[in-house]
């Protein structure tokens, strides 16, 4: 019989090495220890914008250096706030607006806001969701002229967008500078499509019948729940094909459309697969090669996709992600902003999180800051009658995130705690060209339109 | 569209749960809809709209004068768009049956009024509730959309 001792000795020698190679990763932070942040993330300011348990939904930064304003949607408080971030360490409240008779309204209220510029004037559009049976059940958004900021007395309401055919309002909106120069607003509705509105017509006082200029059907509904509409989307220009593209999260999967002609969108490809339930957010890289997606259920990570075959027309459906990322497998990341190769995440209970996709197959965490400071699993749910508390839920904490391209300021809107401002070490701003990609992000060039094949100055 | 009945954690299809406002945060109450008196059992208008009396059960209303020097509380039925208001009558803590409401969807509102005989709502809202016919909600505003069972 051959001695087993040499083999045993060899195994014992290699055991530590093997154990390291199978390292499962960093130790998870206990829920009650989720305070503060990583060394490279500096918290500049924190403002509680609303009283009560629920303070904010989404957030929007203006991008012009001479207009340091941020807009915070007030969620179930049915209001929104405008802050001056001339000093990002000391946000100054400039303006607050609340729907009339808020006590008589029912619904989740002020959800998403976007700013846009057209005709030399600046506007802010606030989306609302009120229940059918509540006042303003057909109200989707209210548009304000904010050109005169920081003078709050100059802010004036210019229009309300209503859509009675699908009551319940607009959960998400996206303001887009189309390649034709038009300012368009894409909105979700409860129905089976996204709507496309002409902002120039709206703010110029054109007849309401002329406001709606197109729609994008949803080819990936969540059939098992009868959820036919989009939840969110991103619209961006594709310089490789000189087309405007719509990336939609359709609750049952994702789809990409050519919306160069808003009146006649063309489906390019879809992403459907197992686990795509509650497909929630879909953000491509600046060149459209990769994408980050979110599905809105606990434990699911953000998925990273290679869209090349879809973009090139070689496939009608993509069904395999190339990688995934999460900050804590026990929770849920929410929205995100891509500033390639960085992805800034509003990570619900995990606050602000940032990871990089320098190698899209191997996402790496960069840092973060806990903003929720909340009890795990006691998130948003239930109904208005129960104070929006129901069964176990991780939907609380960082709801929205935005990045200011000219100086790298990062902001978070936290459902529980309000407005936060941050700086990440080494991130002093973003221009895609510095990273070998088109200078395309959710930020719109409202003066010149999307970047085409312009020579680099 | 999903029924909102589950969201309310109880109560039947004729019950209205009131939400208090900051003017009277301790106020509580419910209302139950009863078909108005009719020889036919189910009371409807000539247009076929159900006609109700409303039985209020309220508690926690503070002294009215503590709210802007009001003299009492008045209950109203309002159309969903708040454009039309029908006075139902005065209410206090306890029970009261008032009528009539003849709308498909409506809100029931209690305000604190300086003149309790007023036929126009002027005072602050202290309680509000929506009719059971208004419970059906789009999925995107529904808690179930967030992947959690209600209640």
**Residue A335 sits in which domain range?**
28-380+395-435
Reduce the secondary structure of A90-130 to three states and give it as a string: CCEEEEEEECCCHHHCCCCEEEEEEEEEECCEEEEEEEEEC
Q: Which of A131, A138, A384 to mutate to test the interface with B (most CBs of B within 10 A)?
A: A131
Q: Beta strand B106-113 with B85-91: parallel, antiparallel or unpaired?
A: unpaired
Q: What angle do CA A358, A361, A363 make, to 5 degrees?
A: 55
Q: What is the pLDDT of residues A158-183, one digit of tens each?
A: 999 999 999 999 999 999 999 999 99
Give chain B's mean pLDDT.
86
Any domain includes B23 = yes
Look at chain A and report how many structural domains it folds into: 1
**Average pLDDT of span B76-99:** 95
Please answer yes or no on whether A390 and B19 come within 8 Å at the CB atom.
Answer: no
Q: What is the pLDDT of residue A17?
A: 43
- CATH code of residue B99: 2.60.40
**Residue B111 sits in which domain range?**
14-135
The interface pTM score, or ipTM, of the predicted complex is 0.82
pLDDT exceeds 70 at position B150: no
Each residue of A83-114: b (16+ CB within 10 Å) or e?
bbbeebeebeebbbbebeebbbbbbbbbbbbb
Chain A residues interacting with chain B (CB cutoff of 8 angstroms) = 101, 103-104, 106-108, 129, 131-137, 166-169, 171, 188, 190, 225-227, 229, 231, 278, 296-298, 380-386, 390-393, 395
- Higher confidence at residue B136 or residue A10? B136
From B80, B128, B144, residue closest to A103, measured CB to CB:
B128
Any domain includes B43 = yes
Please answer yes or no on whether B143 and A390 come within 8 Å at the CB atom.
Answer: yes
Contacts of A391 in chain B (CB under 8 A): 148-151
Residue owning tokens 């309000």: A418
Q: What is the pLDDT of residue B66?
A: 96
Q: What is the pLDDT of residue A454?
A: 44
Contacts of B4 in chain A (CB under 8 A): 383
Q: What is the pLDDT of residue A49?
A: 97
B109 touches A88 (CB < 8 A): no
- CATH code of residue A174: 2.130.10.10
pTM score, whole prediction: 0.90
Any domain includes A14 = no
Each residue of A208-241: b (16+ CB within 10 Å) or e?
eeebbebbbbbbbbbeebebbbbbbbbbbbbbee
d(CA B104, CA A294): 40
Q: DSSP label at B104? A: S
Q: What is the pLDDT of residues A420-450, one digit of tens each?
A: 999 999 999 999 999 999 999 999 999 999 9
Any domain includes B130 = yes
Please answer yes or no on whether A391 and B80 come within 8 Å at the CB atom.
Answer: no
The residue of chain B with its CA nearest to that of A391 is B151
Look at chain B and report how many structural domains it folds into: 1
From B22, B80, B141, residue closest to A135, measured CB to CB:
B80
Q: Name the CA dihedral angle for A311, A313, A314, A317, rounded to a multiple of 10 degrees.
A: 70
Contacts of B9 in chain A (CB under 8 A): 385-386
d(CA A314, CA A312): 6
Q: How far is B96 from chain A (nearest CA, A)?
A: 22
Q: How far is A26 from chain B (nearest CA, A)?
A: 28
Number of A to B CB contacts under 8 A, please give it.
Answer: 114
Q: How far is A79 from chain B (nearest CA, A)?
A: 16
Q: What is the pLDDT of residue B2?
A: 38
Any domain includes B125 = yes
List the pLDDT tens digit at each of the 457 positions of chain A. Answer: 455 555 555 444 444 444 333 345 668 899 999 999 999 999 999 999 999 999 999 999 999 999 999 999 999 999 999 999 999 999 999 999 999 999 999 999 999 999 999 999 999 999 999 988 889 999 999 999 999 999 999 999 999 999 999 999 999 999 999 999 999 999 999 989 999 999 999 999 999 999 999 999 999 999 887 778 999 999 999 999 999 999 999 999 999 999 999 999 999 999 999 889 899 999 999 999 999 999 999 999 999 999 999 999 999 999 999 999 999 999 999 999 999 999 999 999 999 999 999 999 999 999 999 999 999 999 998 888 888 988 899 999 999 999 999 999 999 999 999 999 999 999 999 999 999 999 999 999 999 999 774 433 3
Any domain includes B109 = yes
Please answer yes or no on whether B82 and A104 come within 8 Å at the CB atom.
Answer: yes
Any domain includes B67 = yes
């Amino acid at each position: 019989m051959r001695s087993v001792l040499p083999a045993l000795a060899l195994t014992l020698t290699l055991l530590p090495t093997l154990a390291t190679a199978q390292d499962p990763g960093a130790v998870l932070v206990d829920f009650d220890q989720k305070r503060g942040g990583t060394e490279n993330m500096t918290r500049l300011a924190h403002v509680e914008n609303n009283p009560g348990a629920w303070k904010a939904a989404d957030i929007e930064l203006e991008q012009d250096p001479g207009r340091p304003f941020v807009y915070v949607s007030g969620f179930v408080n049915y209001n929104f706030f405008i802050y001056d971030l001339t000093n990002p360490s000391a946000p100054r409240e400039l303006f607050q607006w609340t729907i009339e008779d808020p006590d008589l309204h029912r619904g989740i209220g002020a959800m998403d806001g976007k700013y846009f510029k057209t005709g030399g004037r600046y506007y802010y559009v606030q989306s609302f969701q009120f229940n059918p049976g509540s006042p303003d059940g057909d109200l989707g958004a209210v548009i304000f002229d904010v050109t005169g900021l920081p003078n709050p007395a100059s802010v004036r309401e210019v229009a309300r967008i209503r859509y009675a055919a699908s009551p319940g309002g607009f959960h998400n909106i996206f303001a887009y500078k189309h390649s034709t120069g038009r300012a368009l607003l894409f909105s979700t509705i409860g129905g089976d499509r996204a709507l496309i509105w002409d902002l120039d017509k709206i703010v110029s006082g054109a007849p309401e019948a002329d406001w709606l200029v197109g729609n994008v059907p949803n080819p990936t509904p969540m059939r098992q729940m009868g959820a036919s509409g989009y939840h969110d989307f991103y619209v961006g220009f594709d310089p490789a094909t000189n087309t405007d593209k719509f990336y939609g999260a359709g609750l049952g999967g994702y789809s990409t459309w050519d919306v160069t002609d808003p009146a006649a969108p063309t489906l390019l490809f879809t992403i459907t697969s197992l686990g795509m339930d509650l497909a929630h957010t879909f953000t491509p890289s600046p060149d459209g090669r990769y994408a980050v997606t979110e599905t809105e259920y606990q434990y699911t990570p953000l998925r990273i996709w290679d869209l090349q075959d879809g973009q090139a027309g070689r496939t009608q459906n993509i069904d395999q992600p190339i990688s995934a990322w999460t900050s804590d497998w026990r929770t849920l990341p929410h929205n995100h902003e891509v500033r390639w190769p960085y992805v800034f995440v509003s990570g619900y209970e995990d606050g602000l999180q940032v990871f990089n996709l320098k190698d899209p197959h191997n996402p790496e965490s960069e840092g973060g800051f806990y903003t929720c400071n909340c009890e795990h699993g006691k998130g948003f749910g239930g109904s208005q009658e129960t104070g929006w508390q129901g069964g176990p839920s991780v939907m609380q904490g960082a709801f929205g995130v935005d990045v200011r391209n000219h100086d790298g300021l990062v902001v978070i809107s936290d459902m529980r705690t309000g407005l936060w401002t941050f700086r990440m070490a080494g991130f002093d701003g973003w221009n895609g060209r510095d990273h070998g990609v088109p200078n395309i992000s959710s930020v719109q060039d409202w003066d010149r339109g999307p970047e085409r094949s312009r020579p680099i100055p | 569209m999903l029924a909102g009945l589950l969201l309310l954690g109880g109560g039947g299809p004729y019950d209205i749960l009131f939400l208090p406002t900051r003017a009277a945060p301790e106020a509580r109450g419910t209302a139950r809809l009863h078909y108005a008196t009719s020889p036919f059992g189910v009371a409807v208008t000539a247009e076929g709209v159900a006609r109700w009396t409303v039985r209020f059960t309220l508690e926690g209303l503070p002294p009215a004068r503590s709210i802007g020097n009001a003299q009492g509380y008045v209950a109203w039925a309002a159309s969903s768009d708040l454009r039309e208001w029908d006075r139902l009558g005065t209410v206090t803590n306890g029970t009261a049956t008032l009528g009539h409401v003849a709308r498909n969807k409506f809100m029931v509102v209690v305000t604190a009024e300086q003149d309790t005989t007023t036929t126009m709502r002027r005072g602050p809202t202290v309680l509000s509730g929506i009719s059971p016919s208004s419970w059906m909600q789009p999925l995107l505003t529904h808690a179930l959309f967030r992947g959690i069972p209600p209640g």
